[in-house]
Structure 1
Amino acid sequence: MNYEHVREVDPAVADALEGEVQRQNDTLAMIASENHVSEAVLEAQGSALTNKYAEGYPGERYYAGCEYADEVEELAIERAKELWGAEHVNVQPHSGTQANQGVYYAMLEPGDKILSLDLNHGGHLSHGHPANFTGQLYEVEQYEVDAETGYIDYDDLRDHAEAFEPDIIVSGYSAYPREVDFEAIQAAADAVDAYHLADIAHITGLVAAGVHANPVGTADFVTGSTHKTIRAGRGGIIMCDEAYADDIDPAVFPGGQGGPLMHNIAGKAVGFKEALEPQFEAYAEQTIENAKALGDQLQERGFSLVSGGTDNHLVLVDLRESHPDTTGKDAEEALEDVGVVLNANTVPGETRSPFNPSGIRAGTPALTTRGFDEGACREVADIIADVIDDYDDADVKAEAAERVQNLTDAHPLYE
C-alpha cells in the first residue's frame, strides 16, 4: 500500500503504517473481533469525508454542505435495512459500545436494572462490568453459562430474570462459541416486562448472511459492530422498530456524541454493499466451517474447548486440563512470537486473573477473508498445538514460524 503523501509529511508515521501492513500480511490474525477489510473500504474510510461535519441526520443537519454526506449515510442505512431486515437503523455510533450506550441512554434511568452474561463467561464490558459506565450507572446482575456444558441455560436465565426483575436483558456475547437462541431470551424478557437488547457485535456478518439466527424483529433493540464479521467501516450500529426511532436517534446525537464520523459511515456503506453480494454468504459459511475445523483439530491434539466445539466464528480453549501450568498469556505471547496473533481469554469458572487467564480465544474471520479453507485451518491448529506444547523450545518455534510464513505467502493480504 502506498503512503507517499504521509511519508512526505511524517516519515515516522509512514514507517509505522507500512510496518503495520507488513505485520498484517506476515501474521495470522486470529483475534475473533478482527478482520481484513477490502481496499475499497479502506479508500472510503480515508476519503475527503474526513473533513466534513454533519451533525444531525440526513435532511436535518445543523451545518450546510451536507448533500453528499446525506447521500452516503442514506446508502448505509438502506443497505443495513436490507441486510438485517430492520425497520429503523442508526449508523452513527462510533463503536459497538457506543451503540449499546445509545440504547441504555434512551431506555433506562440511572439505577435501573440490567441482566447480562458475566464477562468471565463470554460477556462484554459494555454489558455491565464495574469498570465500564454500565456497571457504575445501573444495577447489574449477571447470568452464567452452565459450568459443565459451556452452554447458556435458558431456563436458568428466565428464573434469574424473574427473581431480579431487570429493566433490560442483554444477549449477544464476545466469547460464546454457540448459536444464540434469541427467541428464548425474548421470552424471558417478556415474562418480566423487560426490554431485550441483542448485541451482535461479533456475528453481524454471520447474521447478515443468514448462517446465524437473526434477532432483528425478535429483540427490541439490536446493536453491533460494523467491522468484525461484516468487514465494513469501523464503528457501530443500532437497529430497532420504527416505534423506537424517536428515542434512539436523539440518544446517539446529541445524547452521546457530536458529529458523526462520516468517513467511517462511508466505509460502512461500501462494506454493506459488499455484504449484499452473493459471495459474501460463501465467506460467512466458510468462516464457520473453518472455525469447526480449527476446533476439531485442537481437540484431536488434546485441547479442551468450552462447550466442546463451535457454531460460529470462534473457539474458546480452556488450557487448565491439558496444560495446567500454562496460562493464556503464556500461550498468547509464544504464539505471537511465531506469527499467530490471538488473545488470552477468561473461561467459565475462571480462577486466574483476567490479565493472565486460563484460556485463549481464536477466530477465523480474517483467515477466511484471506482464502483459508478447512485444511489450512487444521494446519493452523497444529501450529498452535505444537507451540503451546513446547513453547520454550526454540526449534519448535522456528519451525512453526516457517510454517506460518508459508501460509501467509500462499494467501497474500493486500497485493
Structure 2
Amino acid sequence: MSKLVYKNMKDTDTELYNLIMEEKQRQEESIELIASESYVSVPVLQASISLLHNKYSEGMVGERYYGGTDVIDKIEGLCKERALSVFNLDENVWDVNVQPYSGAIANFEIYNALIGPGGRLMGLDLFSGGHLSHGFKIENRKISVTSKYFESHPYKLKSDGSIDYEQMQRDFVDHKVSILIGGASAYPRDFDYKRMRKIADLNKAYLMADIAHISGLVACGRMNNPFEYCDVVMTTVQKMLKGPKAGIIFYRKMKNGVNIQNLINRSVFPGCQGGPHNQTIAGIAAALKIAKSEEYREFIDQVLRNMQAMTKVFLENGIKLLTNGTINHLALLDMRNIQMDGQVFSLDGSMFEWVCNFVNISLNKNSLPDDSSCLHPNGIRVGTVSVTTRGMKEDGCERIARMLVEIMKKLASYGLISVEETKERVRKDEWFTEMRVRVKDTVREYPIPGADLFERSND
C-alpha cells in the first residue's frame, strides 16, 4: 500500500485515468452553451489538487475542533475577505460564510437558520425559471426537500414573461410568508429588489437573493445590486465566478435585534455540515482574486456582447425568445411555431438537446412558464459564459447561433416522425457527422484553461 499511494493514477488506475482523459477530449471538442457551466482557471485547479485535501477543520475560523488549523484559518480568512471585497461590502455590516458545499445546500441552510422547519418561503416557480432549491413542488407532490421541510408558495411570471409583482404581493401577505427569494436559474431579466423589499416588509419578513447565475454581473455593476435591500444573498462559485463547485452565504450581521450571523453559521455547522472542504475554499479564494481584476470586468462585458450577438441571429430567423430577448448571459428559446424560410414548425426541447449533444454542442432543455413537463419542455436554454471563457467574441457566437439554426432546419425537413425515428435518422445522416466536424473545427483554436494540468501531474 505504501508504494501505491506514491504512484500516479496513470500507472495504477488506467481505467479511471482513461475515462478522465475521455471527458477532457469531449470538453475540448465541444461547444459548451449550458448557462450554469463554465471553465475554472488554472489557479482554481491547482488549489483543488493541493494537499489541503488532507486537513480536517470542523468549526469556524479561530473556533476549530481540531488542532493544526492555523494555516487553514488563514486561507479561509483570506477567502472571506476577498468575498466581501468583490461585492464592495462593509465588513461592519456584512459577513460571509464560505463553507457551504453547494448552492442548493446553502439555500437549505439559510431557510433552516431564518425560518426553521415548517416555515413559509416564496421563490420563483421552477416552470417560470426558478430553481429546485426555492421550494419546487407540483400540484400533487413535493419534489425538492425545500418543499418538504418548509412550506412553499411560489410566485410566477405573467404571459409576457415578466414577474407578476402584484400577484406576488397578494400571495405573500395571504400566506403569511416569512422569507421572499429573488433569484432564478433561467430568467433573462432582472429582479426589482427594491419592490421586493417593500413586499417582504409587509410581513416583517426576510428578503433573500440567489444570484448564483448572475453573481459576476452583480459584482461588476451590470445588474441590480441585491445587497442594497436584501438581508441574505447566496451565490454559487462554479458558474460566472468560474470557481469550484461551492456556495457562499452573505448576510447582514444583525436585523431588528436578531443575530443573523450566529443563526447562519450554526445552521452551516454543526446544523447541516461537518468539516469544510479546505481545497474548495482555497479554490474559491483563487476565483475571487480573479473576479476583482479589470480583466474579469472585460470578460463580463464580453459575455453580454456575445449573448446579444446570438439572440440577434435567433430573432432574425423566426425563433421566439422568452421576454423577446435578454439582458444577461442567457436566453430561453421557445421551440414552438418557429417561422423559418416560409415554413412553421415546432421541435421538442429534449429532442433538440439530444441532437445537439450528438454533434458536440452542449445545451439544455428548459421549461417555459406554460409548460407542464420538465422532461419534455418546449424551451431551450443557452448561455455564453463558457464560450467567452475560451476566448470567443461576437463573430464566433454568431457562427454558433447559425449552426443551431441549421440544425433546426434540418430536423424540420424530417417532418413529423417519432423520437426514435428521428434519432435513428440523425445517427445515419452524414449531414450531422459533418456538423460534428464543423463544431470541432470551430473550438480548436480556443483552448480550455488548464486542460493539460491533469496530464502533467501524471508525468
TM-score, with normalisation over the residues of structure 2? Answer: 0.87
What's the offset of the Cα at 1:395?
Answer: 4.0
Secondary structure, counterpart of 1:331 in structure 2 = helix
Higher Rg: 2
What is the match of residue 207 of structure 2?
A: 196
CA distances 1:222-276 after superposition (whole Å, capped 9, x unpaired): 0110110011122000001122211110100000010001111010000000111
1:8-407 aligned at under 5 Å gives the runs 8-86=11-89, 87-129=94-136, 130-147=142-159, 149-243=160-254, 244-322=260-338, 325-351=346-372, 353-391=373-411, 392=425, 394-407=429-442
CA distances 1:342-372 after superposition (whole Å, capped 9, x unpaired): 1111111014x21121111111100010011
What's the offset of the Cα at 1:324?
Answer: 5.3
CA contact (8 A) 1:233 1:269 kept: no
What amino acid does structure 2 have at the position aligned with 1:370? Answer: R
Secondary structure, counterpart of 2:273 in structure 1 = coil
What's the offset of the Cα at 1:100?
Answer: 0.5
Which piece of structure 1 moves more, 299-308 or 319-328?
319-328
Secondary structure, counterpart of 2:356 in structure 1 = helix
Uncovered stretches (5+) of structure 2, i.e. residues with no partner: 1-6, 137-141, 255-259, 339-343, 412-424, 453-459
Distance (whole Å) between structure 2 residues aligned to residue 45 and residue 207 of structure 1: 26
Secondary structure, counterpart of 1:255 in structure 2 = helix
Distance (whole Å) between structure 2 residues aligned to residue 200 and residue 66 of structure 1: 31
Distance (whole Å) between structure 1 residues aligned to residue 276 and residue 12 of structure 2: 27
What amino acid does structure 1 have at the position aligned with 2:152? Answer: V
CA contact (8 A) 2:322 2:332 kept: yes
CA distances 1:150-187 after superposition (whole Å, capped 9, x unpaired): 11132332232222221111111000011222222122
CA RMSD of aligned residues (A): 1.5
CA contact (8 A) 1:233 1:266 kept: no
CA contact (8 A) 2:349 2:380 kept: yes
CA contact (8 A) 2:337 2:346 kept: no
Distance (whole Å) between structure 2 residues aligned to residue 265 and residue 321 of structure 1: 47
Identical residues among aligned pairs (%): 36
Distance (whole Å) between structure 2 residues aligned to residue 5 and residue 300 of structure 1: 52
Distance (whole Å) between structure 2 residues aligned to residue 387 and residue 141 of structure 1: 39
Aligned residues: 410
What amino acid does structure 2 have at the position aligned with 1:234? Answer: K
What's the offset of the Cα at 1:282?
Answer: 0.6
TM-score, with normalisation over the residues of structure 1? Answer: 0.96
CA distances 1:390-409 after superposition (whole Å, capped 9, x unpaired): 13562432342232112211
Secondary structure, counterpart of 2:289 in structure 1 = helix
What amino acid does structure 2 have at the position aligned with 1:76? Answer: C
Secondary structure, counterpart of 1:12 in structure 2 = helix
